[in-house]
Amino acid sequence: MAGPVYVLDNYYLAITLLVTIAYQLIFFSVAFALKFDKLTDFAGGTNFALLAVLTLAFSSTSSDGENARPSARQIVASLLLIAWALRLSGFLLFRVLRTGRDARFDDKRDRFFPFLGFWVFQMLWVWAVSLPVTVLNSPAVQQQQRGGGGQSEVGVLPFGTGRDVAGVVLFALGFVMESVSDVQRFVFREKGDKAAVLDRGFFYLSRHPNYFGEIIIQFGIYTLCVSEAADGPVRGQAAKALYATILGPIFLTVLLMFVSGLPLSERPGAKKRYEQGLNWEGYERYLRRTSVLIPFPPQLYEHIPIFLKRTLFLEFPMYVFDPAKHADGPPGGRAAEEGMGGQGGGRQSGERLTS
């Protein structure tokens, strides 16, 4: 029996990395040369879809036709990643075209290395988060699915195990939460009332439901992909590789919680409201009653001990704004200065590196 197609390595790690680097550098070259950053997030999102399509296509290419067809699990996992990527990239493209510019790059657009640094980090984000689907579609996994590599002919694990169902349910919940909350936040910002507090819809239960949704999307895809090792015929190094792809969703979680998501939103956002007098009292009440990430009823969250908020609900001290420690002036002081001729407005906090 002819084996599957190998492209540089047994797990498609090298080819997906090279494709990602080339794809991002092409968009970077255009963006830097034309000082045009409207395609930045579009390049990131569509890169996921490209890797999923590419590895799935490789998995279906072999010299024996019947056995070369990808399994239902490979198809479903790839399609879920593609659906998430296209939804995200399409929304982000629409948003930046509507707003006219991406304020994250105001201090980087004309500086080669700082601007390139963003794109390099985006390469790492795309490649790492794609790992579960990449490895699932790889020759190392396919060999054992088809009884190769010293395995008996056990066949492909049928799609529909409890782990498969759990993965699809997690994906669906996360997809709905991220998609709807993105729209809710966009509509809210379009109204232009900077003093208002977004505490409706999913934001009633979480201050960052879009981040929570994105996290469980990726853990859902991982749960689906790892079925081949947990419940199926894949053993040995290939199984270890599948389990190790949990680094993808973990990397995304760390990114959103400690690098470019919550740290750029929580304390800076509260500080801005306090210093500019943007309904600080109402926003402080929202902070006190609403979970930072994990959805939870505010009537209950308000009365949870601080210790549990800092641990179980992940509201770490690095997110907390204390006016006595972190404010640069009295409440509303900066707004008064701006009213006497200073620059008002500015971008809203909460933008993440990946969107």
- What is the residue extent of each domain of the chain? 13-264, 268-339
**Is the confidence at residue 151, as pLDDT, over 70?**
no
CA distance 147 to 239: 14
**Under 8 Å between Cβ of 126 and 20:** yes
pLDDT attached to residue 67: 52
Burial environment of residue 199 by CB neighbours within 10 A (0 to 12, 13 to 18, 19 or more): middle
In this prediction, residues 6-18 reach a mean pLDDT of: 92
| Residue 146: per-residue pLDDT | 64
Among candidate residues 231, 208, 232, the one with its CA nearest the CA of residue 295: 208
pLDDT of 109 reads: 80
The predicted structure's pLDDT at residue 333: 62
Helix or strand (DSSP H, E) at 19: helix 13-34
Task: Tell me if residue 293 falls in helix, strand or coil.
Answer: coil
Q: What percent of the chain has pLDDT over 70?
A: 87
**pLDDT-based confidence at residue 346 (cuts at 50, 70, 90):** very low
User: In the prediction, which pLDDT does 37 show?
Assistant: 78
| Closest to 164 in 3D by CA, of 229, 224, 234 | 224
Q: How many helices (H) and strands (E) does the chain have?
A: 17, 0
Which carries the bigger pLDDT value, residue 193 or residue 350? 193
What pLDDT, on the 0 to 100 scale, is given for residue 119? 93
End-to-end CA distance of the chain: 45
Q: Which of the four pLDDT bands, split at 50, 70 and 90, describes residue 223?
A: very high
Between 37 and 156, the more confident residue is 37
DSSP state of 172: H
Residue 331 has a pLDDT of 81
pLDDT at 152 over 60: no
**Is residue 341 pLDDT above 60, yes or no?**
no
23 and 51 in contact (C-beta within 8 Å)?
no
- pLDDT level of residue 68 (50, 70, 90 thresholds): low
With both helix axes pointing from N to C terminus, report the angle between 209-225 and 72-99 in degrees, rounded to the nearest 10. Answer: 160
* pTM reported for the whole predicted model: 0.89
Can you give the pLDDT at residue 110? 79
175-189 residue pLDDT tens: 999 999 999 999 999
Question: What tokens does 315 get?
Answer: 């509201």
Greater confidence (151 vs 276) lies with 276
Of the pLDDT bands very low, low, confident and very high (cuts 50, 70, 90), residue 3 is low
